[in-house]
Copies of this chain bind each other. A is one copy, B any other.
Amino acid sequence: MEENKFSIIAKNAKKASKIIASLPTDLKNQALKNIAGALSLSKDEILSANKEDLENAKKLVESGEISGSTYNRLKLDDNKIRDMIQGIVDISNLEDPIGKILLRRELDKGLILTKKSCPIGVLGIIFEARPDVISQISALAIKSSNSVIMKGGKEAVCTNKTIMNIIQRALSETEGFPQNVLNQVFTRDDVAQMLTQDKYIDLIIPRGGNKLVKYIKENTKIPVLGHADGICHIFVDESADFEKAKNIIIDAKTQYPSACNSVETVLVHKNFSRIEDLKTELNSAGIEIITNPKDWHHEYSDKILSWKVVESLEEAIEHINEYSSGHTESIVTENKNNAVIFMNTIDSAGVYHNVSTRFADGFRYGFGAEVGISTNKTHARGPVGLEGLTIYKYTLEGDGEIVKDYVEGKKKFNHKDL
């Protein structure tokens, strides 16, 4: 039965998570190096599996079932495989996020409280066509001592299977590395099963389009880390510098229009002196301006933006707090005071002054690796690095201490940080 099969995977992943939780840093890094080595020895095997996927995908493009851009994202070449491998090496070089001492406190003489970072447990990660994601997620899971169950796009199934086999071989040759840390499933039904396994799976991370993320958020009780929409705003204030406004909007809209951190709505202060010039420049850059959109929540994912002239900074802030998806917003202004008000009052993961919204990215922030970008209000927000795959636990070490003595006043806490 499908259900039992999935439960067994999830249960074994949970068991493995308890073992990998206390694996030494060296062993985890060795596993990553072995994976990088195995992948670079198996380039041909990967490219040949990818060719199979591409042939199937070609038919789907012809029949209109998948888009040309999906086809392109599916395609691996030597450069992409080299980047995949480099990504794993980079993660092996990052600091271990597990076992960090976050607090060490003497509650009383000889009674020592320690708060230490630890893994979350089992991650469920669902992603779309790009097959280079599988090695990246595997590396992130290993480095953060989490087990993971992955479901990739169905178009990439041959490539994903092949990459996973190579990774599993490398792990089985890494002495002391536990089994069942990395798991892959393939069907839509597996995803449905995954969403019900709140006993075993601790966090779901969907990496993909709006529809996928919404479907997942609506169908699970497991915490979900990610973002459905990226409705980012730029506000051109009264005192904005024309060149900065122009460059920032063009960058935020055209540099990668389908990215979640590209701008969707531009708000312009009515007293900004060169409103018409700005529109002309944006049009010249190939941007279509919609001055009367039906829906201020719309994510164009194209060189189109919604445009609104506002009466004041306050109106801009109100509009953003109403329609933003909480991802990233930027103010263009030479008025430092207005910038501070904007950044304090807007409730989004990123609030910028005089820079493009496209900077919202884990690599640009210097995190070294990115799990995704979160618009959640709890756990992790904005670009999420390895730290977002950790939580903490408390240890308390003593010599027979009991609470009764403290309640009755025989002993007293001193709460001294060490």
Interface flags for A181-204 (1: CB within 8 Å of B; 0: not) read 000000000000000000000110
How large, as a class, is the contact surface on chain A? 35 or more
CA distance A171 to B120 in the complex (A): 40
Given contacts A21-B344, A21-B347, A364-B406, A203 and B393 within 8 Å (CB-CB): no
> Within the assembled complex, what's the spacing in Å between the Cα atoms of A381 and B116?
11
Q: Residue A105 at the B interface, CB < 8 A? A: yes
Contacts of A49 in B (CB 8 A): none
Within 8 A of B (CB), among A317-356: 321, 339, 343-345, 347-356
- Additional A-B contacts beyond A202-B377, A244-B400 (6; CB < 8 A): A18-B347, A352-B396, A352-B397, A356-B402, A359-B396, A364-B406
Contacts of A226-251 to chain B: CB distance below 8 A: 241, 243-244, 247-248, 250-251
Are the CB atoms of B248 and A400 closer together than 8 Å? yes
In-complex Cβ contact of A394 among B221, B347, B365, B399 (8 A)? B365
Against B, the Cβ 8 Å flags (1 = close, 0 = not) of A243-267 are: 1100110111001000000000000
Q: Please, which residue of chain B has its CB at the minimum distance from the CB of A251?
A: B402
Contact of A409 with B by CB under 8 A: no
Known A113-B365, A321-B18; contact A120-B377, beta-carbon cutoff 8 A = yes
Closest 10 CB pairs of A and B: A366-B415, A251-B402, A244-B400, A358-B403, A355-B398, A22-B344, A202-B377, A379-B379, A378-B379, A352-B396
Most buried by B among A22, A248, A398: A398
Check: A401 CB closer than 8 A to any chain B CB.
Answer: yes
Known: A223-B378, A402-B247, A403-B358. A353 touches B395 (CB 8 A): yes
The answer to the question of A391 belonging to the interface, with a C-beta cut-off of 8 Å to chain B, is yes
* CB nearest to A399 among chain B residues: B354
Question: Chain B residues with Cβ under 8 A from A407's Cβ?
Answer: 255
Q: Does A215 contact B (CB under 8 A)?
A: no
Determine whether the beta carbon of A364 is less than 8 Å from that of B394.
no
Q: How far is the CA of A22 from the CA of B343 in the complex (A)?
A: 10
CB distance from A181 to the nearest CB of B (A): 15
For residue A206, CB closer than 8 A to chain B, the reply is no
B393 touches A381 (CB 8 A): yes
Whether A353 lies near B397 (C-beta < 8 A) is yes
Residues A354 and B203 in contact in the complex (CB < 8 Å), given A120-B378, A345-B22: no
Among A356-379, those with CB < 8 Å from B are: 356, 358-360, 364-366, 376-379
Residues of B within 8 A of A352 (CB): 395-398
